[in-house]
């Protein structure tokens, strides 16, 4: 194997594929990158048995071949080489020789035949969406994915196609995030739960552009395809929450509020809420709604904090306790200048939603019981 490639092209490939390199494994081959030449292309592949990533880049191939090399070592060497052409050769001793200007490195390799093949997916349903739209939908939901492995289904996001609309939903037992987008082409209804870890890595790879990404789903695998990159991931098994049935349709108390202003209030109040000397204790913030006014407060051993803001209110007065982090995560994901925040009772979920009808997001936060 022998090829010559611009450093930038190899780096783009490595920046994508290294996200699927196994870190804790008893199989050294999974810590490697499979490098394969084909005509005037080089394909880089990594696979940790959950996520697999392929990236193809153009280069000048002198001799065809394939090998596997340790991903971290190879990536770090390439990253530090001069911005120039890099010549990569597999020599007669099965060492990978890397040459660039005055630099010369030789790395031990592994047998490419031992590298596990990526799953062959027989796609049953698929959608096409702009990369920037998918990036936005992931960003606005991923924070609500559960990190608790005892309920694996909630460690992923639900991708639901219903009535030609893509709904992406995340839930962790304390909050829910929902974002939707109408699709241009007619699509069959289907659902898939994609691991949060996969979506985090995909979000780092896809561009903030109108370029299309194709998402294909089979029984237990999903495939994300872009121009020169392919990502395969397993799907999560199980019954996802029937999210539409748990979002309250009615409210007892509603405020219309400047998103930035209430976000700033929660940012400041959380300085007291999260700085408790007793780290294991969670101190909620108290939200008090009176006619035309919201008061957010917190008291613990560190001190007291109180924020007041004047808002438009409808319905009853209310007092409830919340984890400020859950409010902040939702508010930071919203681009609108104003939002409705709807409350039921002091023990029922609070809903953050757009002020206009037909909005494309909803955030639900469960309250915390306040100690008397």
pLDDT in tens, 128-159: 999 999 999 999 999 999 998 889 999 999 99
Distant-in-sequence, close-in-space partners of 223: CB < 8 Å, separation ≥ 6: 121, 123, 214, 215, 216, 217, 230, 231, 232
Q: Specify the number of domains making up the chain.
A: 3
Q: From 6, 34, 1, 39, select the one nearest 20 (Cα to Cα).
A: 34
Using 70 as the pLDDT threshold, list the residues of the chain that sit under it. 275-282, 372
- Residues 129 and 238 placed together within one structural domain of the fold: yes
| Widest distance between CA atoms in the chain | 81
CATH number at residue 252: 3.10.150.10
- Cα–Cα distance, 9 to 85 (Å, whole number): 10
Phi, psi at residue 154, to the nearest 5°? Answer: -90, 0
- Domain end point (choices 87, 114, 141): 114
Range of the domain at 39: 2-114
Shared domain for 238 and 281, answered yes or no, is: no
Report CA 210 to chain centroid distance, whole Å.
19
What pLDDT is stored for residue 272 in this prediction?
A: 86
How many Å apart are CA 294 and CA 313, to the nearest integer?
A: 9
Q: Assess if residue 17 is contained within a domain.
A: yes
Domain check: are 100 and 132 in the same one?
A: no
CA 57 from centroid of its chain's CA atoms: 25
Does residue 229 share a domain with residue 253? no
CB 148 within 8 A of CB 174: no
Report DSSP state, residue 114.
G
Percent of the chain with pLDDT over 90: 88
Same domain, 254 and 237: no
* 267-271-273-276 Cα dihedral, nearest 10 degrees: 160
Please indicate, yes or no, whether residues 184 and 174 belong to a single structural domain of this protein: yes
pTM, rounded to two decimals: 0.91
Tell whether 142 and 205 lie within a shared domain.
Answer: yes
Helix (H, G, I), strand (E, B) or coil at 9: helix
Same domain, 141 and 237: yes
Q: Does one domain contain both 231 and 274? A: no
Cβ atoms of 60 and 5 closer than 8 Å? yes
């Amino acid at each position: 194997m022998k090829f010559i490639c611009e450093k930038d092209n190899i780096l783009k490939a490595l920046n994508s594929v290294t996200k699927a390199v196994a870190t804790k494994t008893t199989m050294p081959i999974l810590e490697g990158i499979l490098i394969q030449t084909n005509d005037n292309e080089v394909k880089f592949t990594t696979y940790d048995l959950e996520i697999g990533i392929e990236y193809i880049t153009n280069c000048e191939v002198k001799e065809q071949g394939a090998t596997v090399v340790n991903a971290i070592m190879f990536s770090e060497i390439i990253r530090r080489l001069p911005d120039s052409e890099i010549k990569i050769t597999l020599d007669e001793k099965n060492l990978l020789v890397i040459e660039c200007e005055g630099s010369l490195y030789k790395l031990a390799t592994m047998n490419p035949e031992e590298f596990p093949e990526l799953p062959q997916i027989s796609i049953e349903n698929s959608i096409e969406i702009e990369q920037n739209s998918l990036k936005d939908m992931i960003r606005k939901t991923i924070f609500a994915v559960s990190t608790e492995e005892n309920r694996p289904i909630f460690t992923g996001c639900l991708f639901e196609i219903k009535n030609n609309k893509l709904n992406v939903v995340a839930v962790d037992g304390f909050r829910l995030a929902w974002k939707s987008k109408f699709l241009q082409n007619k699509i069959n209804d289907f659902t898939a739960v994609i691991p949060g870890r996969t979506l985090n890595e995909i979000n780092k790879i896809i561009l903030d552009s109108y370029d299309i990404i194709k998402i294909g789903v089979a029984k237990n695998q999903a495939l994300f395809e872009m121009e020169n990159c392919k990502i395969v991931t397993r799907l999560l098994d199980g019954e996802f929450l029937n999210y539409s049935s748990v979002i309250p349709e009615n409210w007892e108390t509603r405020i219309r509020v400047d998103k930035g202003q209430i976000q700033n209030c929660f940012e400041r109040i959380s300085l007291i809420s999260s700085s408790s000397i007793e780290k294991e204790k969670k101190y909620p913030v108290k939200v008090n709604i009176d006619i035309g006014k919201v008061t957010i407060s917190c008291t613990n051993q560190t001190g007291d904090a109180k924020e007041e803001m004047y808002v438009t209110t409808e319905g009853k007065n209310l007092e409830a306790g919340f984890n400020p982090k859950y409010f902040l995560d939702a508010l930071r994901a919203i681009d609108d200048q104003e939002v409705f925040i709807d409350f039921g009772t002091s023990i029922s979920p609070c809903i953050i939603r757009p002020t206009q009808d037909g909005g494309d997001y909803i955030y639900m936060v469960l309250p915390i019981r306040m100690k008397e």
